[in-house]
């Protein structure tokens, strides 16, 4: 988990957050062990801002990954920041309930939970009668 945390913290340093100054990095580990990172990218049209978690996950999916082992979010302030609803919904597409989610503050405080705790009743592929992709 330490390697994943370090990757998320490094991604946080590359965030583009000129409006909020709230830099976030994320790192997701695929089932094969590969780590993908992302940072938040703000936009002057605020609604077009994309979160670090979604950047990391979409990079992994674009590389062909579909199964994931863990996600770390490195928040931009003194308290561990929780993933937003949009990020949780994207996670629901690919994560099983037992995937660990770790959020880390800028000073290293950690909070860990399973995805099923973060989003106990997700709307995902099963709700549409679909299996895992």
Q: How far apart are the first and last CA of the chain?
A: 25
Catalytic residue at 53? yes
Give the C-alpha separation, 3 to 29, whole Å: 10
Query: H-helix or E-strand containing 100?
Result: strand 100-104
Catalytic residue among 42, 53, 67, 93: 53
Query: H-helix or E-strand containing 37?
Result: strand 35-39
Which residues are designated catalytic? 53
């Amino acid at each position: 988990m330490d390697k994943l945390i370090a990757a998320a913290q490094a991604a946080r340093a590359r965030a583009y957050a000129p409006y909020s100054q709230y830099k976030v990095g994320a790192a997701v580990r695929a089932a094969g062990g590969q780590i993908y990172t992302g940072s938040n990218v703000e936009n002057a049209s605020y609604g077009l801002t994309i979160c670090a978690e979604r950047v990391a996950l979409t990079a992994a999916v674009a590389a062909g990954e579909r199964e994931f082992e863990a996600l770390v979010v490195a928040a931009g302030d003194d308290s561990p920041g929780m993933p937003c609803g949009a990020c949780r919904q994207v996670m629901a597409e690919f994560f099983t309930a037992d995937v660990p989610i770790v959020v880390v503050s800028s000073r290293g405080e950690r909070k860990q939970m399973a995805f099923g705790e973060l989003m106990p009743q997700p709307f995902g592929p099963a709700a549409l009668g679909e299996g895992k992709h």
